Amino acid sequence: MTQTQTYSDSDAATKYADLSENLSLGERDTNQRNLDGHAVQAKFITPLDPVIETEDGSRLPGVPLQEAHKINALKAQAGGKRLSVHTADNESSNSSHQREAEAKEDPYAQDDILDQAVTSLRTHPLFPPLPLYGPPSLLRNAHCLFFRVTSFCLSTGFLLVIVLGALFTSIPRIVHKLWMWLTLRNPDARRPFYEEEQRRAASRKEEERQWSQRTLQAKRSSKASGRRSSASSPAPHAQYEPLEGGPDKLLCDPRYYARRVGLEMEKFEVQTEDGFVIDLWHVYDRTEQRPSTPQEKEEHGPDIFKPDGNDRQHIPDGHKRYPVLLIHGLLQSAGAYCCNDDDSLAFYLHKAGYDVWLGNNRCGFSPKHTLLKYIDPRMWAWNIRQMGVMDLPALISRVLSETGFPKLGLVAHSQGTTQTFVALAKEQRPDLGDKISVFCALAPAVYAGPLIGKMYFKFMRVISPAMFRIFFGIHAFIPLMMKMHAVLPAKLYGFMGYKVFGFLFNWSDDRWDRGLRDRFFQFSPVYVSSESMRWWLGRECFAKHKCVLSTREENINEEVEDESPERDQEAYNEGQEAENATKSNKGRTAWYDKRAPPFALWVAGSDDLVDGKRLLRRFERGREPYVNVTHTKVIDEYEHLDVIWAMDAIDKVGSEVKAVIWKTMREEDKERCRAINPYSHQHG
């Protein structure tokens, strides 16, 4: 080894140590010996999604590509390996042939093949680099405090304006309602399901009365026998006898609502590949399955899709339940699928015969990371890309690990569909499609609806990214909403939640069971990052391009093509050869490749938040030649949340989801599972 190379390696070691310290959890102590959460290298989850791996195997969230490649290159050079740092400026002079030659000459280089595989450090316009925050220091702490103070004041003012706007716009409705009552007319009689709503309210009252009687009888029996008795014990003759009853307590607890319909739920912890710990809820029937132990419900570390899947319940073939994972929407949680009694999608699918799991995204109601704390801005440096590339695979991996199946059915609503559409894209994690038997998208959020042009959303798009951070901070987005959730009475919070979100997103409760409406808003909002909301509403990403995977220019080209449908369809009428040529051409601009699972889409026709019909046109026009769209439905009268909360949602959506999952299952999985009648609409 020459003196020049020795000096170069020594210099690389120094730079590696400095960069490692800059990417570590904490700073060195005064003796320069201990480094908290010492960063060792960047681990690439995808070629464009690196995370930092620490000395003890823990993970820190991702860093910009330049920093990730740099630390790996410096580490390799300090260890005597030849690994160059590729940048957008020098990439053209370092061709793939040169890199292949280097790899053959230096076997060590092949250890870093993923690092070498990236052809450009330029990220997609829709996914610009996230901010990089170093370990805590006096300057960084002062920086964070500044943003926390400014965002508290300004975002509170913004929230107050929204609340006042929601209340002000309610005045005409209140006046109209009062006038109807004064003229001896029932203002609710015109609601689409008024009679059914009244019937269900009466039924709930009767169930409360029966529960009170059983409770009283149990107490009397307990006194007479001198033994302690539980009022929640189910009657032996009924499979789904309620385990909870009485007046609704309005709890933010999906297990409570599962017990009200005779089921149980348990919560698992799942670690993502960048160190976040998220919740995964499991619906089960205690008459056929034992609850998992605390050890079984713990997170298993950051590595996913390990070959250790097995059915921990040891249920014999022919009696198993096929796994189905449900993912919630923006500012919501898994409980959104559990608050409509037996008409809740989660409980309906379980009683139909499926093994139902419900995933929460990162942070949720209880932000948790293996290394980071709430006040650390790195805890909040994520957006929809990380939710799709990190959260969704971790949840799918855990469900498959617990059930022993190679695939599952995936059902998502709103933002849950966004993270899935992003994750399955050929530039992200297309291999995830091999784990999904069908992707059921409810109110798919891919293209923006007209609501994006509202004044309050325009404000977020007009201000600069720096001003956005001053207004909404670099931590959680308006955390005061979660504080209000904790302190306000449940009924008042439910009322305010409906008014505010209805005002923001332009939906109504016309098709909901109004007697359950306060439940719906016990499960939202949740903690989300300001960076995530900036992705949705800021001037750079979704609000600018109005699509989650195409730029504004590409969208304009699509609109031009859609104006002349006969021109785009011409190739399909010229024989098989022309059809294959067109398919090959469209495949180059498609979002998905052959690994995409079958898609099924339910579009709300009166949805102002997203434009589901335009997504259907994308598939109908052949722009995704490798995607098998196995089911589509447009429900003209539905708004954005009606697909999960409307009183007829089970008939119009849930029963079809049940049938589509069964239809798309592998035949060998059907043989392992209990038979499901895809045409039956009955619950349980």
What are the residue numbers of the active site?
Answer: 414, 607, 640
> 455-462 vs 530-537: helix axis angle to the nearest 10?
110
Residue given tokens 């919740």 in the structure block: 279
Q: Between the CA atoms of 317, 322, 323 and 325, what dihedral angle is there, to the nearest 10 degrees?
A: 180
DSSP label at residue 387: I
- Name the residue among 449, 451, 411 with its Cα closest to residue 329: 411
- Name the residue among 73, 78, 74 with its Cα closest to residue 114: 73
Backbone angles phi, psi at 276, to 5 degrees: -75, 145
- Name the residue among 439, 437, 449 with its Cα closest to residue 405: 437
d(CA 84, CA 94): 10
Cα distances (angstroms) measured from residue 147 to each of 61, 63, 215, 284, 539: 20, 21, 53, 44, 20
- Contact present, 476 and 558 (Cβ < 8 Å): no
Strands 323-327 and 277-284: unpaired
What residue type is 529 in one-letter code? S
- Contact present, 629 and 612 (Cβ < 8 Å): no
d(CA 513, CA 201): 9
Element (H, E) at 276: none
Helix, strand or coil for residue 270?
strand
Mark out the alpha helices in 321-409 (DSSP H runs). 345-352, 384-386, 392-403
